[in-house]
Amino acid sequence: MAKEQMTPMMAQYLKTKEEYPDSILFYRLGDFYEMFFDDAIKASKELEIALTGKNCGMKERAPMCGVPFHSASVYIAKLIEKGYKVAICEQVEDPKTASGIVKREVIRVVTPGTVVDEELLDEKTNNYLAVIYSQRDIFGFAVSDISTGEIYTTEITGADETLNEIARYEPKEILVNSVAADKLSGQVELRFHIVPDECKDEFFENSLFEEKILNMFGKGSLSEVGLADKPYSVCAVGAMIVYLEHTQKTSLTYINTINTYEVNQYMDIDVNTRRNLEITETMRDKMKKGSLLWVLDNTETSMGARLLKQWLEKPLLNPIEINKRLYSVKELTDNVMLRGDLSEVLAGTYDISRIISRVSLGTVTPKDLIALKMTLLKLPELEYTLSTVKSPMLADMRKNFDLLEDVCDLLERAIADEPPSLLRDGNVIKEGFNEEIDKLRLAMRDGKKWLASVESEERAATGISKLKVGYNKVFGYYIEVTKSNIKDVPEHYIRKQTLANCERYITPKLKEIENTILGASEKIVTLEGYVFEQVRVSVSKEIERLKRAANIIATADVLLSLAQTAYKNNYTMPEISDNGKIEITEGRHPVVEKMSKKTMFVPNDTLLNTNEDRMIIITGPNMAGKPTYMRQVALITLMAQIGSFVPAKSAKIGVVDKIFTRVGASDDISSGQSTFMLEMSEVSHILKNATSKSLIILDEIGRGTSTFDGLSIAWAVVEYIHNKRKIGAKTLFATHYHELTELEDELDGVKNYRIAVKKRGDDIIFLRKIVRGGADDSYGIEVAALAGVPKEVINGAKKILHKIENDEIAVEHTKKEPEPTNQIGFGDGAAIEIANELKTMDVTTFTPIEAMNKLYELSNKAKEI
């Protein structure tokens, strides 16, 4: 489109749009944000708003749609949720004083990973942006949550490990270079349902990165920020800073510390295990309810809720660090008064972490500052509550406790106690804080009083008793006289408007008062804006201290939450060591015991170590509770390593470096891989990555193929994991293959267990107790009966089983358990023929009658098999 023919506005629009090709441009026009061309077509569809057109100087009108500026955040939220970026282009000069077209600039680009608006964020979850830069097989990985000012970075070897790290944070937006895109994008899309943004390599390789990083974190050398020998991290962090500057268009001084860590500093939990163990959400519905987080989260504040989630995402490995947390949880669990007091103080605080960021970004509202003040006012009480604590972590918080009285005092003096949400609504600055504002307010009040007296004075002077003074936006203040009294209107009244029953006038005196009132009110708005900005700047200078206070509140809240959970659910303090032993007495599954209120949860013991009890083989029928038991062991270990008490009578936990699970159906149908392929690729991942310090949980390995294949694979997997020179990890292995119980005699370190059931007549009773020894029976038919399979089929199955047992039917293998396979056992040529025919036919071309005929034909063939 030739720009010369464009209207000036459209030319300005197109020039701006050129700079933001990948964002939807919200272009401010009066009280609306307008979108044009492709943006308008896309947005009108996504937002379900009308698509219109605007004359842009060309023959054809430009497609256009718009949203009112005051409700824009709802629309922005919708677009962000769908993965779009929104560039907000504002008028940056006063239209009244502008000569020519009003100057406009993009003031911020909102993207899924850089959202800071309160309405667009989930208060209990961090909102992360990840930047990943890779060369060869090394990945520089950086994540930030700019709504709270956190930034983390690490270097990772291998795409699998990088995926695990992504799973830890679940970023809302990911930027990658081309190498990282090749290695990760497919898996990221499949597993996390977001499409990484592939940026040009130049974006990640910039000689200015070092300087930018040092500037941002106020340090003199890369070694001071822990990045001396981390060139990949430098590229990721540098690119992240550039992107944040590009989107936020403001200084990000509040993001002034970087957390550089090693992946092996925390327990490694791979993507599947995170899903399988339902740590922060359930596998099926992706709901918090039913997850471990749901049980553990008794936090009072959103800062605490987010930190608890972070602790769960990063379980610790160092027993000293874990114990530090545990001692504080113990102190709180043991002291009901302390718990009560702390919970009361914390309940009165607000999300100052995000408010602090908004202070820094300049988007803070008057109400935010009051919330900040209310929180700071709680600090003396918090200090007092902590005055008697003894455990190191809580006691540390009390040291050099900063009450931030100066900031609190400033906010108390400057901001009205109940300010409006928006600055421009006025009455934000408190009486007595700024002399000029007070004077103007007085003038306004006087003017209003004066105005009130005009009405009575004019009534007296004219004798018109129904004369009224009113106001409208177009004419300002006026005197209104009904038609019947017009004859008494004095000469100096100037007529302004005629309505059906009345006339409206102004007088010079009225205009004078009006100028005072309106002039003062306009000045007040400007002045309030100026003073508010000064207050904001003063507060933003104290960011470091405010962040520390936010951190104390969040940490105290997480410790308290863990204590409340421990107390409510009767948990016990685990004994932490690094001797590799896991000994749990009367352990329970934290979530299942909570969910099944009606039935009593049956506790079970566990003994695992690095020698004679390192591989536990569990047999027993379906429905007995094998996965529940195995998950319970993993969850108890995980809970212990975040510093939580655990659901058990007693627990000794030797820290594990990684947890792996291959439990139940984690089958991702959308991946297009078969169940068996997926199962095997998960097993292969475990075999490649587990160490002697890991905990592995495997359920029904080999189930997805024929019995002999499956059994052989399961057998070999057990041997491989068991072998100390290969892995030697602590393992719980549930299986249908009773043959595997023979391994107990062959390999030391293997122990057989079963989940006990009792047979009574045709019924079986699940005792839910784990006991030594292999299972004697699969009870498959009994379980099928329990599941409601028709009696006729059950009886049929019993007869067949009886015949097999008495060798009346020849089967290839002698074990009697039904084949636990979900493949169809096509052994017959006719069946294969039918299957092939079904596979190749194009049903969509059939008429209904043809379909009927074909079905009839196939059905007859099947009957002959």
**Footprint of ligand ADP (CB under 6 A):** 592, 596, 599, 601-602, 622-628, 768
Minimum distance between the CB of residue 735 and ligand ADP, rounded to whole angstroms? 11
Minimum distance between the CB of residue 779 and ligand ADP, rounded to whole angstroms? 11
Q: Where are the alpha helices (DSSP H) in 70-192?
A: 72-81, 159-169, 178-192
* Whole-number Å distance between alpha carbons of 164 and 160: 6
Find the helix packing angle between 231-248 and 209-217, rounded to 10°. 70
**834, two tokens:** 């039918």
* Whole-number Å distance between alpha carbons of 505 and 538: 48
Minimum distance between the CB of residue 548 and ligand ADP, rounded to whole angstroms? 44
Minimum distance between the CB of residue 31 and ligand ADP, rounded to whole angstroms? 57
Minimum distance between the CB of residue 787 and ligand ADP, rounded to whole angstroms? 10
Cα 863 to Cα 831, 834, 859, distances in angstroms:
10, 11, 6
Minimum distance between the CB of residue 656 and ligand ADP, rounded to whole angstroms? 21
Minimum distance between the CB of residue 78 and ligand ADP, rounded to whole angstroms? 39
Minimum distance between the CB of residue 734 and ligand ADP, rounded to whole angstroms? 8
Q: Which residues pair with 754 in a beta bridge?
A: 619, 771
Backbone angles phi, psi at 157, to 5 degrees: -100, 125
Is the CB of residue 125 less than 8 Å from the CB of residue 313? no
Residue 406 CA neighbour count, 13 Å, CB half? 10
Minimum distance between the CB of residue 622 and ligand ADP, rounded to whole angstroms? 5
| 112 vs 647 by CB, closer to ligand ADP | 647
Is the CB of residue 582 less than 8 Å from the CB of residue 604? no
Q: Letter for the amino acid at 424?
A: R
Q: Where are the alpha helices (DSSP H) in 249-300?
A: 271-276, 292-296
SS3 418: coil
114: exposed, middle or buried (C-beta count within 10 Å: 0-12, 13-18, 19+)?
Answer: buried
Q: 21: which DSSP letter? A: T
* Whole-number Å distance between alpha carbons of 250 and 255: 12
| 580 vs 625 by CB, closer to ligand ADP | 625
Closest-CB residue for ligand ADP? 625
- CA dihedral of 313, 319, 325, 326, whole degrees rounded to 10: 110
Minimum distance between the CB of residue 830 and ligand ADP, rounded to whole angstroms? 35
* Whole-number Å distance between alpha carbons of 347 and 571: 24
SS3 57: coil
How many C-beta atoms lie closer than 10 Å to residue 22's C-beta? 10
Minimum distance between the CB of residue 544 and ligand ADP, rounded to whole angstroms? 49
Minimum distance between the CB of residue 631 and ligand ADP, rounded to whole angstroms? 8
List all residues 6 or more positions away from 249 whose beta carbon is below 8 Å from its beta carbon: 106, 107, 108, 109
* Whole-number Å distance between alpha carbons of 698 and 710: 14
Q: Which of 774, 699, 769 lies closest to 740, judged by CA?
A: 774
| 607 vs 623 by CB, closer to ligand ADP | 623
Is the CB of residue 150 less than 8 Å from the CB of residue 129? no
| 338 vs 648 by CB, closer to ligand ADP | 648
**24, two tokens:** 């939807």
Q: Which of 469, 450, 449 lies closest to 459, judged by CA?
A: 469
* Whole-number Å distance between alpha carbons of 624 and 618: 11
> What sign does the CA torsion over 62, 65, 68, 74 have?
negative
Minimum distance between the CB of residue 800 and ligand ADP, rounded to whole angstroms? 23
* Whole-number Å distance between alpha carbons of 216 and 360: 14
| 108 vs 768 by CB, closer to ligand ADP | 768
| 368 vs 593 by CB, closer to ligand ADP | 593
* Whole-number Å distance between alpha carbons of 572 and 646: 5
| 513 vs 592 by CB, closer to ligand ADP | 592
| 576 vs 696 by CB, closer to ligand ADP | 696
Minimum distance between the CB of residue 681 and ligand ADP, rounded to whole angstroms? 22
SS3 36: strand
